[in-house]
Structure 1
């Protein structure tokens, strides 16, 4: 099978070669959000195609059409220099085909780990039967998550919704998302539960306007930028995507699509764009995934701190406005 990514006239045929290529060139794109995420897509695609070739050599061709999709920051096109794995598989065929696609999912996860993408602690990977299912089973799974509507089920659903197909049939993922939105809009009370599911925001700014670094272990003296600054924007835009039927997973795309209906919400887009650039400025010397979302207080100048506090403040404001809007509309529906 032909590799997607070629460099220097030679094809990348192994995980080791892809890993070395990633290490060599990622620095060149590490200061540009779009170029960095496009590069991640190329590296992951090359790895998945290598995994597909390995599985095909042992088990033959895939027994059914399928889609390999990304979730989390990769799904939203918001990866930083280092990232863990969040991915799944949808196949259109009989349940007995599951063994083949689970084997493919495991090969992909193992390959991505070699290349430099840490295994997901929560096992949100195509090697896990929960995230590798037939199209029919996926529709049932999403229905179950939304019917149960407990904290874990809705967390799984939100993770799933921030997804895009990297290789394979886009229509599979679109069908499942459309069915999910139909269920949500037929049960308005789900909007309240979805808000509650992401309502806890780790505060990054204290009552006196000071930044609040972590106090334990590796987070001691450091700001967790993902939890304190990114999540309010990401969660608010996902909630509006549910409400407006937006299938696109990217936070920036969601901002653009809600502009006509919610200009007051759209005004926060610029802060999110600046936050993406701000994060990359402090990742040039990061050496591991664990460090990727942490910024040491000692690295921040007075101006940096002022800028970061503004990003946090605007994120909290956006989420608060979104929550109030949904609460008011749900009250009107009841």
Structure 2
């Protein structure tokens, strides 16, 4: 049993090499690292401030919420509690301790502050429900982005039902206001091309990234966004994209043909990025490292993701206008 965050970091460094070739094993390992960090954080706050004033759940968002982390990942997490608003201060302190511990364990703090130390992501069940209404009513780019971030969530520790209650609320709002689906699609729609008109891979032109392709933005996002769109329409609360593929295939059989492409992409990403030394470089792939065959494979995977997104968008438009 680990007693310090530093011990967890050491365990990570010693063990991650044995799971880095298998997507599921790697993400199960990340879960265990974060769970052990959470355990120490809870013990620390309890020793200082007493036991939690209400039942709560700690949940993950982003790639961790979707169980799609690579070797390195930043922090995206929140706390939801079943209690009065006065309980928030305790849980904000817990969130800050969790963020501190995860940073030591090897997870960089989120630049966008999507962490349980931020009051926006540390709330009661009822407060989250109100926040969902506010985000969807505001209907701005940022509010819909926050809603999408929240939707890709799963509980790591605590009562799953707390999060499900809020997700069910969002499904109900969307069902009553189908116009919001098209607004959400617009929010997801910025996808880098990745492949040019002449069939060439398009590297980044930003300073410090030239000659590299951004795997997350060009190849990965189209699959994730397509499955998120369809999950919102069908009221699927599961966050991992692979789970969404399985559940949604009953309603949309056409997506089965794209599931293997997504699995291939996850394997491709691990193969090339398992030796990355930092989070900053985890999504960038130098094109000169790719063989001719790998370039062809990557182009195929990018095109397939864009096809899937376009089909999902078309289906959503059709169903929402009925």
TM-score normalised to structure 2 length: 0.99
1:131 correspondence with 2:121: yes
| Worse-matched range after superposition: 106-115 or 263-272 | 263-272
Partner Cα separation in structure 2 for residue 131 and residue 98 of structure 1: 11
Residue aligning to 1:4 = none
- Tell me how far 1:327 sits from its aligned partner: 1.6
Aligned pairs for 1:112-151 (under 5 A) are 112-151=102-141
CA shift, 1:162, in A, is 0.3
1:329 Cα deviation from its structure 2 partner:
2.5
2:253 is matched with which residue? Answer: 263
What do residues 209-234 of structure 1 show as CA deviations (whole Å, max 9, x unaligned)?
A: 00001112232110100000010000
**CA displacement 1:128-172 (0-9 Å, x = unmatched):** 000001111111001111111111011000000000000111110
1:33 equivalent among 9, 23, 34: 23
Q: How many residues in Structure 1 have an aligned counterpart in Structure 2? A: 322
**Which of the numbers 37, 46, 58 marks the counterpart of 1:56?**
46
- Answer yes or no: is 1:16 the counterpart of 2:13: no
2:306 paired residue among 306, 311, 316 = 316
CA distance in structure 1 between the partners assigned to 2:103 and 2:169 by the alignment: 33
Structure 1 stretches lacking a partner, 5+ long: 1-10
Match of 2:186 among 196, 202, 206: 196
In the alignment, which residue of structure 1 is the partner of 2:146?
156
* Structure 2, unpaired ranges of 5+: none
Aligned to 1:236: 226
- The residue aligned with 1:85 is 75
Alpha-carbon distance, 1:326 to partner: 1.4
Counterpart for residue 237 of structure 2: 247
* Secondary structure of 1:217's aligned partner: coil
Matched, 1:327 2:313: no
User: Aligned partners of 1:248, 1:67: CA distance in 2, in Å?
Assistant: 16
**2:214 pairs with 1:224:** yes
Q: Any idea what SS the aligned residue of 1:124 has?
A: coil
Runs of 4+ more than 3 Å apart:
none
TM-score (norm 1): 0.95
| Structure 2 match to 1:177 | 167
In 1, distance between residues paired with 2:307 and 2:9? 41
- For 1:156 and 1:117, how far apart are their aligned partners in 2? 21
1:199 to partner: Cα distance? 1.0
Corresponding residue of 1:8: none
Q: Distance in 2 between matches of 1:254 and 1:289?
A: 26
Structure 2 Cα separation of the partners of residues 137 and 284 of structure 1 = 40
